[in-house]
């Protein structure tokens, strides 16, 4: 069964303290892995798409990487405004257009 697991569930960081969020997946033929940011009470906002192992994408303090079994979202020198829940989703290769979402990592960055 296709599955996405995110860890940790919650992460508290001091401003400037770099860290990584993990997204592990099992799908039969990955067609894409997607990262979203979700602020409290709002809908998710698309961040990155990764298609193949070794691929990396960057945006400001965020960098997403992909291996054959997992993806990392690296946050360098985070600021309080980076506080949000980060969601990972995958699209498998079983001829379906459906996404499988993880339950997210809730990040809090303190000044």
Partner 1 sequence: DVKVTQSSRYLVKRTGEKVFLECVQDMDHENMFWYRQDPGLGLRLIYFSYDVKMKEKGDIPEGYSVSREKKERFSLILESASTNQTSMYLCASNPGQVTFGELFFGEGSRLTVL
- Write out the residues near partner 1 by the rule CB under 8 A: 4, 31-34, 41-46, 49, 87, 89, 91, 97-99, 101-104
The residue (of 11 and 99) whose beta carbon lies closer to partner 1 is 99
The residue (of 78 and 104) whose beta carbon lies closer to partner 1 is 104
How far, CA to CA in Å, does 45 sit from each of 16, 25, 87? Answer: 23, 21, 9
How far, CA to CA in Å, does 35 sit from each of 14, 22, 77, 99? Answer: 22, 11, 19, 12
The residue (of 78 and 86) whose beta carbon lies closer to partner 1 is 86
């Amino acid at each position: 069964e296709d599955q996405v697991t995110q860890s940790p569930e919650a992460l508290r960081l001091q401003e400037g303290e770099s860290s990584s969020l993990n997204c592990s997946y099992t799908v039969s033929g990955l067609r894409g892995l997607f990262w979203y940011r979700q602020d409290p009470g709002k809908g998710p906002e698309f961040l990155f798409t990764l298609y193949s192992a070794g691929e990396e994408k960057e945006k400001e303090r965020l960098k997403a990487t992909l291996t054959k079994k997992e993806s990392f979202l690296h946050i360098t020198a985070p600021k309080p405004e980076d506080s949000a829940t980060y969601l990972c989703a995958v699209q498998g290769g079983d001829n379906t257009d459906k996404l499988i979402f993880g339950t997210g990592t809730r990040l809090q960055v303190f000044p």
